[in-house]
């Protein structure tokens, strides 16, 4: 594993896991969630890293600035900068598939133009909905200094459509942290703009089970990713 800085702050870095035994030239760019809270970091995705490497992929795991000192749009800009930095390294990736969980899904969706394909694992796609339903223990009210509708809409992937690259959304009906209704609305709105998104809606997939390679969704996820192998 190698780490690269894409900015001057200690959080502005990503870890590279090169799968030297794989012929697959597709890289997976992982982005963690945690509702913009600083206590949650890239290590949330460690179980996925090993599973994806076993499946033949090389990985970058992106860290980004978060917490109240790093107001929006800093997290989204950081992910953009990380992806751009990685593209200009000696790894010279031919294809990058972004995989984001929760707020990481928000950041991946908003940076879809930097990606060849993407996966949102229970993504936060509607920040206004998240605010009004007090999700994540009032995470929006805690993180955003302003509740200005314009800013919250800019932070909401559902208002930044269409997503024109290949995309998969995975969500559980029993997810209480990010409601599946937001993913259903997101996919419908994207379809209305002429673009399809693959959607795996599972009856039982808790929010944190999305990043558990033992989860019921993981084989389906790997099967979808094989088209990019």
The CATH number of residue 155's host domain is: 3.40.50.1820
- Centre a 10 Å sphere on the Cβ of residue 157 and count the other Cβ atoms it contains: 25
* 170 within a domain of the structure (yes/no): yes
198 belongs to a structural domain: yes
Higher pLDDT, 148 or 170: 170
φ, ψ of residue 209 in degrees (nearest 5): -65, -20
* Whether pLDDT at 22 is above 90: no
Maximum C-alpha span of the chain:
49
pLDDT, position 71 = 98
**Residue 229 in domain:** no
Read off the pLDDT of residues 1-19 as tens digits, 9 standing for 90 and up: 999 999 999 999 999 999 9
Of 215 and 147, the one with more pLDDT: 215
Question: CA-to-CA distance for 60 and 42, rounded, in angstroms?
Answer: 10
Report how far residue 33's alpha carbon sits from residue 40's, in angstroms, rounded to the nearest whole number.
7
47 lies in some domain: yes
d(CA 112, CA 96): 10
Q: What's the structural domain count of the chain?
A: 1
User: Alpha-carbon distance 174 to 178, whole Å?
Assistant: 9
For 37-173, where are the E strands, in sequence order? 58-62, 95-101, 117-121, 166-172
Domain range for 183: 2-223
Q: What is the pLDDT of residues 115-156, one digit of tens each?
A: 999 999 999 999 999 999 999 999 999 999 988 999 999 999
Predicted TM-score (pTM) of this structure: 0.98
pLDDT in tens, 74-105: 999 999 999 999 999 999 999 999 999 999 99
Q: Assess if residue 228 is contained within a domain.
A: no
What percentage of the chain exceeds 70 in pLDDT? Answer: 100
Q: Is residue 196 part of a domain?
A: yes
What is 137-164 written as a DSSP string?
HHHHHHH-S---HHHHHHT-GGGS----
pLDDT at 196: 96
pLDDT of res. 20:
87
């Amino acid at each position: 594993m190698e780490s690269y800085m894409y900015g001057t702050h200690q959080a502005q870095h990503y870890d590279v896991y090169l799968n030297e035994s794989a012929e697959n030239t597709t890289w997976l760019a992982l982005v963690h969630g945690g509702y913009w809270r600083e206590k949650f970091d890239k290590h949330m995705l460690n179980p996925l890293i090993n599973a994806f490497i076993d499946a033949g992929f090389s990985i970058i795991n992106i860290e980004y600035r978060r917490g109240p000192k790093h107001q929006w749009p800093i997290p989204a800009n950081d992910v953009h900068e990380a992806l751009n930095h990685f593209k200009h390294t000696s790894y010279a990736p031919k294809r990058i598939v972004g995989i984001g969980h929760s707020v990481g899904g928000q950041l991946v969706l908003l940076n879809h133009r930097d990606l060849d394909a993407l996966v949102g694992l229970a993504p936060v796609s509607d920040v206004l909905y998240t605010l009004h339903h007090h999700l994540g223990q009032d995470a929006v009210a805690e993180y955003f200094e302003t509740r200005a509708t314009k800013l919250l809409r800019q932070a909401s992937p559902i208002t930044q459509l269409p997503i024109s690259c290949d995309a998969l959304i995975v969500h559980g009906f029993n997810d209480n942290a990010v409601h599946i209704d937001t993913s259903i609305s997101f996919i419908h709105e994207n379809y209305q703009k002429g673009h399809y998104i693959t959607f795996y809606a599972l009856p039982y997939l808790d929010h944190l089970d999305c990043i558990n390679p033992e989860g019921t969704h993981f084989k389906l996820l790997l099967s979808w990713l094989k088209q990019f192998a």
